[in-house]
Chains A and B, each alone.
Chain A
Amino acid sequence: MSAKRVRLLIWKEFTQLRRDPLLIRLLLLMPVLQLIMFGYVVAVDVRNLSTAVVDLDQTVASRQLQAAFSGSGYFTITRTPASEADLQPLLDSGTIKVALVIPQGTQDRLGRGETAPIGIIVDGSDSQISAIGSGYASQIIAQFNTDRRTSSGAQLDAPGIDARVRVMFNPTLDPINTMIPGLIAAIMMISLMVIMSQAVVKERESGTLEQMFVTPIKATEYLIGKLTPYAALATAQMALVALGGLYWFKVPFNGSFWVVLVGLLLFMFTCLGLGLLISLVSRTRHQAQQAVMFLMIPTMVLSGFIFPIQSMPPAIQPLTNLIPLTFALEVLRGAFVKGSGFEALAVPMLALAGFGVVIFGASIIATRRRIAE
């Protein structure tokens, strides 16, 4: 191992990268673009939903309930029609997205310790609004019930308001809070696969790989010299996404930095190995690109990056275990959102280590064989 030769190779890779202005721009633009896309477009949060309230009760309790809705920030009460019949045109025209109907006698029922049903109508034409809106609504009502019981000294299991929405939702689990950690892992995978897959095949195409064989360079030196620049580049991209997520999108980070670092490092070996393997088996750069595309589509769809694994058909779900990104997402989301440590994330960590050893190991063996050939 000669550190001088490795340094020289790294210098050469960076010089070549610098001479490829399009590539370097794409590599820097990609994380920014993805942040904007996934941050603003895909993971849009539902806030300030225009809401109409039909208060047929007109009591203290009904006004408290209204206040709870408008104070949450998710609902803005824009209309207060006198009857339920007036809601239909408002919903039809899209003037309101949510309607809250508090029937007459709600306070009396609550006072008697009975269940008080209220109605929540959500505009179902936008599935995201309906799901998130009804989720928030039920959360607010649950909170309202708890507050009322504690202030009145009633038993905790005493009946309260019963909202006719049953969707569970955790308002602290803003979709962007799971999207950004996932994006960090996805960006590393995309970037490393795209560049690494070109790395060796480019040298084969230019004939410099053969020239390299006549020099005293060792396979290990060659590999380190090839992998280091791109690993550094991918790290920079990830840092960009992470900083953008933490400071611009204000994604809370509850976990340990080390958990994230170890998880990403393990995943990086898998990505480097996959890219290298593609580069070794491909004859041309074009072939390498197609191979990357071929791997990328099932990875994005099956890993749970965009579509939740729980909502996939049961027959498909086991397949997600074959995708390394699945486990990287588990580690990153676990660490960011739930603050999980190494113990809680042992299974995905081990899975990532396993993928890393097998895939990276195979790529090293393949490189050595290719170079010895």
Chain B
Amino acid sequence: MSSWADTVSSAPPPATTASDRGAISARGLRRTFGDTVAVDTLDLDVPTGAVFGLLGPDGAGKSTLIRMLATVLVPTAGEASVFGHSVTTERDAVTPRIGYMSQRFSMYPDLSVAENLEFFATIRGVGRADRRTRSQALLASMGLDEFTRRQAQHLSGGMKQKLMLATTLMHEPDLLLLDEPTTGVDPVSRREFWRILAGLHRAGKTVLVATPYMDEAERCTHIAFLDGGRIKQSGTPESIKALVPGRLLEVSATDPRAALAVVRTLPGVASVHLLGDVVRVLWEAPSEPVGPLTSALVAAGLHGVGVREISPDMETVFAFLAEADAPPGAGSEVAS
């Protein structure tokens, strides 16, 4: 199991340093729970300084992957390294450089905000002076400084997440492994949380963040879409968007279901689906789409017809990619 790690660490190829291999490198990583395969022989490379979004539905294997990288879970097969150190054989070299935030709230509920910070920082060997300055700075930047004496169990959902992040940052890790940090958090807190992550990114930290929210993918420098324990797509948000062939159109009409039925029959239309009260259309033909679509809909007797080209958001991109993956015709009602 450790042969791969041994090879790289004992005989590094010339000009290949740990940072060149990136923050995270995983090869053939696999984890099963009984008969269930949570992560299925997966390769992953996260460059240093990236904000890497791990997207996918519940049960896709995001948490299992992150927990293996955080050295909390031992892989069934394969190997992963963090900054060139194996997560299985060199745990002691890995843990000081990572900050792991689990999906569940994992602070002591009956200790105060300040005590939790103090406890986890001290246990990680952060000195007294550093503990004081860092906790003051972190709590102030997260707006938690008024609540230092409050017990963690009495914090709101957003504040709990921020406390966990602050705790994770006290020993100044180079890599943050965040497992769905914004799940169950109100939109304002979510935005604020991402503002903090953006600051960490500017400070040069590497962030691996799992999220079920497609809109959060837009804020990442790199993304990977995980499903069934495998990476289905990965790249930059732009390169993922570029995977969608043709142009994306939004069609509105007083009766969107009738519009959908009409559009589906037209040549040049690759896929159609209903999103709320508009119809999303992927136009694959090289010709200009707005004119022909409008006239076809008007000719079919529909009222209030409007057609405009939109730039694809991540949600739509993955919906189309999933549809392309699925058997023909199965995904025409994909809507969220």
Q: Mark A residues whose CB is within 8 Å of B.
A: 4-5, 8-9, 12, 15-16, 19-20, 206-208, 210-217, 372-373
CA distance A207 to B152 in the complex (A): 13
Chain A CB within 10 Å, residue with most, of B67, B102, B106, B107: B106
Sample of 14 more A-B contacts, CB < 8 Å, known A206-B109, A207-B104, A211-B106: A8-B122, A12-B108, A15-B115, A19-B111, A208-B106, A208-B108, A211-B102, A214-B72, A214-B99, A215-B95, A215-B120, A216-B92, A216-B124, A216-B125
Q: B215: which A residues are within 8 A, CB to CB?
A: none
CA distance A214 to B102 in the complex (A): 11
CA distance A12 to B98 in the complex (A): 23
Q: Assess whether B120 is in contact with A211, with CB atoms less than 8 Å apart.
A: yes
Task: Return the chain A residue nearest B104 by Cβ.
Answer: A207
Q: A20: which B residues are within 8 A, CB to CB?
A: 110
CA distance A41 to B62 in the complex (A): 60
Q: Assess whether A8 is in contact with B72, with CB atoms less than 8 Å apart.
A: no
Q: B108: which A residues are within 8 A, CB to CB?
A: 12, 16, 206, 208
Q: B95: which A residues are within 8 A, CB to CB?
A: 214-216
Task: Return the chain B residue nearest A2 by Cβ.
Answer: B125
Evaluate whether A215 and B106 lie within 8 angstroms (CB atoms) in the complex, with A12-B111, A372-B74 already known: no
Q: Please, what's the 1-or-0 string for B135-156, where 1 marks a CB less than 8 Å from any CB in chain A?
A: 0000000000000000100000
Evaluate whether A16 and B110 lie within 8 angstroms (CB atoms) in the complex, with A213-B71, A216-B123, A372-B74 already known: yes
**B96 at the A interface (CB under 8 A):** yes
Q: Is the interface of A mostly helix, strand, loop or mixed?
A: helix
Q: Assess whether B124 is in contact with A19, with CB atoms less than 8 Å apart.
A: no
Chain B CB within 10 Å, residue with most, of A4, A211, A215, A372: A211
Chain A CB within 10 Å, residue with most, of B67, B71, B110: B110
Within 8 A of A (CB), among B85-100: 92, 95-96, 98-100
A-B contact pairs, 23 of them (CB 8 A): A12-B108, A12-B119, A15-B110, A16-B110, A16-B111, A19-B151, A20-B110, A206-B108, A207-B104, A207-B106, A208-B106, A208-B107, A210-B67, A210-B72, A211-B106, A212-B123, A213-B70, A214-B71, A214-B100, A216-B96, A216-B124, A217-B123, A372-B74
- CB-CB nearest 5 A-B residue pairs: A207-B106, A19-B110, A207-B104, A211-B106, A214-B100
Whole-angstrom distance between the Cβ of B119 and the nearest chain A Cβ: 6
Q: A12: which B residues are within 8 A, CB to CB?
A: 108, 111, 119
Q: B213: which A residues are within 8 A, CB to CB?
A: none
Q: Please, what's the 1-or-0 string for B112-124, where 1 marks a CB less than 8 Å from any CB in chain A?
A: 0001000110111
Within 8 A of A (CB), among B170-226: none
Q: Assess whether B98 is in contact with A214, with CB atoms less than 8 Å apart.
A: yes
Evaluate whether A215 and B102 lie within 8 angstroms (CB atoms) in the complex, with A15-B115, A373-B74 already known: no
Evaluate whether A210 and B106 lie within 8 angstroms (CB atoms) in the complex, with A216-B96, A373-B74 already known: yes
Q: Assess whether A210 is in contact with B102, with CB atoms less than 8 Å apart.
A: yes
Q: B72: which A residues are within 8 A, CB to CB?
A: 210, 213-214
Task: Return the chain B residue nearest A372 by Cβ.
Answer: B74
CA distance A5 to B122 in the complex (A): 8
Q: A210: which B residues are within 8 A, CB to CB?
A: 67, 72, 102, 106
Q: B125: which A residues are within 8 A, CB to CB?
A: 216
CA distance A8 to B108 in the complex (A): 14
Chain B CB within 10 Å, residue with most, of A8, A212, A213: A213
Task: Return the chain B residue nearest A211 by Cβ.
Answer: B106
Q: B92: which A residues are within 8 A, CB to CB?
A: 216
CA distance A126 to B72 in the complex (A): 63
Evaluate whether A8 and B105 lie within 8 angstroms (CB atoms) in the complex, with A210-B72, A216-B95, A373-B74 already known: no
Q: Assess whether B119 is in contact with A8, with CB atoms less than 8 Å apart.
A: yes
Whole-angstrom distance between the Cβ of A257 and the nearest chain B Cβ: 38
Task: Return the chain A residue nearest B108 by Cβ.
Answer: A208
Q: B102: which A residues are within 8 A, CB to CB?
A: 207, 210-211
Task: Return the chain A residue nearest B125 by Cβ.
Answer: A216
Whole-angstrom distance between the Cβ of A221 and the nearest chain B Cβ: 9
CA distance A4 to B74 in the complex (A): 28
Task: Return the chain A residue nearest B96 by Cβ.
Answer: A216
Whole-angstrom distance between the Cβ of A59 and the nearest chain B Cβ: 77
Within 8 A of A (CB), among B66-83: 67, 70-74
CA distance A8 to B124 in the complex (A): 11
Q: A372: which B residues are within 8 A, CB to CB?
A: 74
CA distance A214 to B95 in the complex (A): 6
Q: Please, what's the 1-or-0 string for B9-28, where 1 marks a CB less than 8 Å from any CB in chain A?
A: 00000000000000000000
CA distance A5 to B121 in the complex (A): 11
Q: A9: which B residues are within 8 A, CB to CB?
A: 123
Q: B67: which A residues are within 8 A, CB to CB?
A: 210
Task: Return the chain B residue nearest A221 by Cβ.
Answer: B123
Q: B109: which A residues are within 8 A, CB to CB?
A: 206
CA distance A215 to B94 in the complex (A): 10
Q: A206: which B residues are within 8 A, CB to CB?
A: 105-109
Q: Assess whether A207 is in contact with B105, with CB atoms less than 8 Å apart.
A: yes
Q: A211: which B residues are within 8 A, CB to CB?
A: 100, 102, 106-107, 120
Q: B105: which A residues are within 8 A, CB to CB?
A: 206-207
